[in-house]
């Protein structure tokens, strides 16, 4: 499998409190039809933090089954508890995921040595390709370039990183310090194109839930050397990306998919529906950009 281009951090449709398998399968099929390069179930956008382990295994299994090998699947399987991350990784491996997305342990804020040992334990107990996920806005911990470079060298299963700081200086330092071929995905929809220009490989994206073709085409255009087209698509995506973050992700993107008729807009606590004053703002942005 090739890990480059636009990967969608998939939402998880719910219905009557349970996973809506039919809507999920239809969403996956639509993403692939639109030309997405890969899929990421059970990430932040997929509300994995509200799921049981059995549900996470089910969501990953459905994604792998529906995808049928047409695009790679990177399954969210991280935790701030190393043993729990091992167990979730084993579930993802059994479900047939091509790799897992492993968030840096949140809340307990490990030292750089703790991060190295966390990933070594994952590799020793549940070996498969891992994408490290650095998102300090969610975890309270910023894995610095020198730490990620060390992990890349000492833990061969760690093949890449989803870099969600939005800090292009840090991204540049990261690519400079990591081994050649180490995969760097943008985890910040606003900086996908600049990161590609620095040598990044693509994006694990929120906005591609509603605009998969646009994000995939932007990444493809840059790879093909058509920087004018890539820049045009970048600026077309910017207002949509802003709309996806008018409230906490995934509230706006899931509400958007509801407006598009792709799923029933339903969340699990502690997430709640979009505020009324933001709903019209979101609808206007979607209409203006021809999403609905």
The SS3 call for residue 73 is strand
Q: Write down the number of H helices and E strands in the chain.
A: 12, 10
Cα 127 to chain centroid, rounded: 21
Which residues fall in the annotated binding site for pyruvate? 45, 204
Cα separation, 217 vs 2, in Å, equals 16
What amino acid positions are annotated as catalytic residues?
Answer: 133, 162
Cα separation, 8 vs 60, in Å, equals 14
In 35-189, which ranges are continuous DSSP H helix? Answer: 53-67, 82-95, 112-125, 136-139, 145-154, 168-177
Instruction: Give the pair of three-digit tokens for residue 74.
Output: 């990177």
Which residues fall in the annotated binding site? 45, 204
Looking from the CA of 2 toward its CB, the CA atoms found within 13 Å total 8
> For residues 196 and 37, is the Cβ–Cβ distance under 8 A?
no
> For residues 92 and 22, is the Cβ–Cβ distance under 8 A?
no
């Amino acid at each position: 499998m090739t890990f480059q281009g636009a990967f969608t951090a998939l939402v998880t449709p719910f219905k009557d409190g349970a996973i809506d398998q039919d809507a999920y399968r239809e969403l996956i099929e639509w993403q692939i039809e639109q030309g997405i390069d890969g899929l990421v179930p059970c990430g932040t956008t997929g509300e994995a933090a509200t799921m049981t382990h059995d549900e996470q295994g089910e969501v990953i299994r459905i994604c792998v089954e529906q995808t049928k090998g047409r695009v790679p699947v990177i399954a969210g399987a991280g935790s701030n508890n190393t043993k729990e991350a091992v167990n979730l990784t084993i579930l993802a491996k059994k479900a047939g995921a091509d790799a897992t997305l492993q968030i840096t342990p949140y809340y307990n804020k490990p030292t750089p040595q703790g991060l190295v040992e966390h990933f070594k334990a994952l590799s020793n107990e549940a070996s498969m390709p891992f994408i490290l996920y650095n998102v300090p806005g969610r975890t309270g911990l910023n894995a610095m370039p020198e730490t990620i470079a060390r992990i890349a060298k000492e833990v061969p299963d760690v093949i890449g990183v989803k870099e969600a700081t939005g800090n292009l200086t840090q991204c540049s330092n990261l690519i400079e310090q990591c081994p050649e071929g180490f995969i760097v995905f943008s985890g910040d929809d606003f900086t996908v194109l600049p990161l590609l220009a620095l040598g990044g490989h693509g994006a694990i994206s929120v906005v591609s839930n509603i605009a998969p073709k646009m994000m995939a085409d932007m990444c493809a255009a840059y790879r093909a050397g058509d920087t004018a087209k890539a820049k045009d698509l970048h600026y077309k995506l910017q207002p949509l990306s802003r709309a996806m973050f008018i409230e906490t992700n995934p509230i706006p993107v899931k509400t958007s998919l509801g407006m598009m008729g792709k799923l029933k807009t339903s969340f699990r606590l502690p997430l709640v529906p979009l505020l009324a004053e933001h709903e019209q703002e979101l609808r206007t942005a979607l209409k203006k950009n021809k999403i609905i």
